[in-house]
Chains A and B, each alone.
Chain A
């Protein structure tokens, strides 16, 4: 009986201890093997961070194989791509080419090959190039430029008798009132997803100067409460709640928002050019437009946030670095075919023909041509981890649990704790 008890106890302890197993990670030196299959044909492995480009990737793999004989093994994970990628690096199975986002490079540069001497660097917009750089060196080939703003249903706007897009917060409020009077729900926001709250919280940063504001917050010279456009931000946030799903906005997510919008139940959603294909897949005939989020009554400040969001980098443990560089170059040269014609997404290169890239991109282009653009989402310089943290106080504000001051204070505390943890890592 006694030994039975001991065994049971041991079993219990072991089951419990297995808990920590998931959080350990390994000390991989990341020695990826240069893979060559039987016939000696070359293989490049690519790891994609988003499923958005699946269709294009399929086509590229086929065409690249035909043209050069190199096989691309392009992996598209379905969920939580970066967790998987970190595990790959830790276990020494790093892919040759990895797909990263702007803001990733202050941690990921250690794993990437310096691409500063590649010929394409001369044709990429400088602001885009900066997003894939660290300490003056280029580590990523930018390939997607996206604009963040309010997408609106032109048909519903016409029904409510609205003739032009609002360029000030007062005009936006009038638009909401007109829509409400016409029996149309103005907003419908997916504030259950931290990613979209992150986008709108970035707006007051871009208004004030994104990099400088982040710097001042980190240095303690400024707080969220005294950020110049914070009140305007909350005014805008209130509009999306009052004329939308109210406190329940925080129970809504990307999918049901896209559905409701594409079925014409909502007139406006705060999204961006990346939404083109999602909406088209539900309702291809929708008449759409995009306009910049107005926070103030100065139309000169109402510029569209445009940022380079995705980059291709080469893993510095790859044994096929030269082959990978060739592929990046090929990808750059064929951006017109794949990015623009097939995906309707703009690549940030100065030698592309941008006509006919979809309504949202056309509207973004108009802003770019007028120079009415903030060249960031305002979030690039945030301390690591704050992008997910910020959602909690903002959701609490939407529920009425916090007021503006409390929300700002909590944002500040979260910011500070992320700053202190990242500085202790250096």
Chain B
């Protein structure tokens, strides 16, 4: 009996190792190891090319935290993230609600809204760069629509707006799918019962649907916060951080410092600070929204 129990335990361990092992190995190789190396380089003065580098302590961190440009990009990224998190979730949930109804073209519409996320973000950026920068001004001038006559990418406010619109256009479908999955797990008998008891649309949404899709909300909030804080490719391909650096996100700034300005160590320090910021925000959010989840 005893021997049997022991072998069962080792057997379990083997099963765990087989399932978790590869993932852990990949994580160590591609996430933890680079992270450690990144921290290591952030304490040195390597430019990314030279053969040798020296230890400089926390000098890079001090410089990053007193660098107005870097602080400025943090401000911009937070602003962008707030707008995007609201946008993604409000539009994502709204679309999911609509496409959860019994519409004729439901399947096709779901596919259509999800489609943009399949296209690479930089491709989307270059396409919209042409649409916003060249095509819309042409339409505006031809038909005299004042709104479109100016090149939106040349002015800070409209460049920001372009960024938001294109991000929404591309990303909303992704959150819609997660919300749809959540909505479909809401039992219809509950809703019917509520309806018979005289609950209106508003009550049904806030008292039944919303509490039940809390797990989806948690996931969507988390993903949208992290994704918009990390935003890089669209800034790179749509606005190139312009006009005059007003749409630079942290990730884009780090990229510029590392590879354009040849200050890889300094950029590593920025990246470590950035990870801490994102980590803290994400953990607070997950903790806060987990508390409010209910289980059936």
- Chain A residues packing against B (C-beta within 8 Å): 5, 8-9, 12-27, 80, 82-83, 86, 89-90, 107-108, 110-111, 192, 247-253, 256, 384-385, 388-389, 391-396, 399, 401, 417-418, 421, 424-425
Contact = CB atoms under 8 A, between A and B. Distances in A.
B259 A424 contact: no
Which range holds the interface residue count of chain B?
35 or more
Contacts of A394: 244
Given A13-B283, A19-B271, A421-B266, A89 B245 contact: no
Contacts of B39: 20
Nearest to A385: B261
Contact of A24 (B45, B256, B261, B268): B268
A401 B244 contact: yes
Interface in B46-63: 46-51, 56, 59, 63
Contact of A18 (B31, B244, B262, B263): B31
Interface in B260-286: 260-264, 266-268, 270-272, 274-275, 278-279, 282-283, 286
A392 B271 CA distance: 23
Contacts of A249: 154
A248 B275 CA distance: 36
Given A17-B279, A21-B38, A192-B243, 4 more contacts: A12-B283, A17-B31, A17-B275, A86-B48
B47 A425 contact: yes
B290 interface: yes
Nearest to A249: B154
B240 A192 contact: yes
A248 B267 contact: no
A252 B222 CA distance: 36
Given A107-B47, A256-B133, A251 B151 contact: yes
B37 A24 contact: yes
Contacts of A110: 49-51
Contacts of A256: 133-134
A82 to B, nearest CB: 7
B34 interface: yes
A21 B35 contact: yes
A23 B38 contact: yes
A393 B244 contact: yes
Contact of B244 (A17, A19, A108, A250): A250
B230 interface: yes
Contact of A13 (B38, B59, B244, B279): B279
A20 B34 contact: yes
Contact of A16 (B260, B264, B282): B282
B275 A25 contact: no
Interface string B204-222: 0000000000000000001
Contact of A9 (B35, B270, B283): B283
B226 interface: yes
Contact of B286 (A12, A22, A250): A12
Given A19-B278, A251-B133, A252-B151, A25 B48 contact: yes
30 contacts: A12-B282, A12-B283, A16-B226, A17-B275, A19-B278, A20-B35, A20-B268, A21-B35, A22-B271, A23-B258, A23-B270, A25-B48, A27-B37, A82-B259, A107-B49, A110-B50, A192-B153, A192-B240, A249-B154, A251-B133, A251-B154, A384-B47, A385-B261, A391-B242, A394-B244, A395-B243, A399-B154, A418-B261, A421-B63, A425-B47
B32 interface: yes
Contacts of B153: 192, 251
Contacts of B67: 417
Contacts of B261: 384-385, 388-389, 418, 421
A391 B261 CA distance: 14
A393 B133 CA distance: 21
Given A24-B37, A24-B38, A384-B262, A248 B150 contact: yes
Interface in B148-162: 150-155
Contact of A107 (B262, B266, B286): B262
Contacts of B35: 17, 20-21, 24
A248 B154 contact: yes
Given A21-B35, A21-B38, A385-B260, A247 B47 contact: no
B30 interface: yes
Contacts of B14: none
Nearest to A260: B134
Given A25-B37, A251-B133, A388-B261, A424 B45 contact: yes
Contacts of A251: 133, 151-154, 243
A83 B259 contact: yes
Contact of B262 (A15, A89, A385, A393): A385
Interface string B6-46: 00000000000000000000010011101101110100011
B254 interface: yes
Interface in B223-271: 226, 230, 240, 242-245, 251, 254, 256-264, 266-268, 270-271
A421 B263 contact: yes
Contacts of A13: 279, 282-283
Given A8-B286, A21-B35, A15 B226 contact: yes
Nearest to B218: A8
Nearest to B264: A25
Contact of A12 (B31, B222, B251): B222
A265 to B, nearest CB: 12
Given A13-B279, A399-B155, A250 B242 contact: yes
A23 B260 contact: no
Contacts of A418: 261
A14 B282 CA distance: 11
Nearest to A17: B35
Contacts of A247: 154-155
